[in-house]
Homo-oligomer: A and B are copies of this chain.
């Protein structure tokens, strides 16, 4: 079994939650990949350097200065801090971007209505490269930076990276994908954290969308998740640290 754990911005800024999340990841005995973003710290540094982060539809507009900063923060500071903390927990973490080992090749997003700048849309996951690292006993820690194989680094959505890796590796492993975010799961009632929906299958997902239980920020995450399931990922779990640990996170599967 291969687990792919995606952690979001909220976990990264809370040292205690982060420590516990890394302990969960370090407890995995079968191969596992950690995927992380790091939005807030990049925005803070941009501000310090006199830039403002620009967002459209939840996606960062990546100009050249922003790309330098997200590369420094995601691939440098956050990635290496995560790796060092995992190593301290005896997890043989190895930090990578999509450029390393050509693990994730992308292209600069084509300009239609909005120019997202140096935003990368994924073309290919290097399955052999990931297998080589996993079989070497490494636990890849993957930041949200890819490249175009022509020397250009690109900023890429971390949720998409996680699901793309999951789908690519179903040929070699039985894959489970775990999204760790601030909520204990997909909620029947957005105001009630106790209303976690235990299991969603493609049929009930269609209903939840129709009833507008699932909307806005949750939609792309779950659309992504069901696309991964349609492509052979065994299950996707959506929850926070506690619910993922206790098995009470929302389980998406066929």
Residues of A whose CB lies within 8 Å of any CB of B are 48-49, 68, 71-77, 79-81, 83-85, 87-88, 92-97, 99-102, 132-133, 136-138, 145, 147, 149-153
Contact = CB atoms under 8 A, between A and B. Distances in A.
7 contacts: A71-B80, A71-B81, A75-B76, A80-B153, A84-B152, A87-B99, A87-B149
Contact of A94 (B49, B100, B149, B150): B100
A29 to B, nearest CB: 18
Nearest to A101: B94
A100 B93 CA distance: 6
B102 A149 contact: no
Contact of A99 (B77, B83, B153): B83
Contacts of A49: 48-49
A80 to B, nearest CB: 5
Contacts of A147: 83-84, 87
Contacts of A145: 80
Contacts of A93: 99-101
Given A71-B77, A94-B101, 18 more contacts: A68-B77, A71-B76, A71-B80, A71-B81, A74-B76, A75-B77, A80-B99, A80-B100, A84-B152, A84-B153, A87-B99, A88-B150, A92-B101, A95-B100, A101-B138, A132-B138, A133-B136, A136-B136
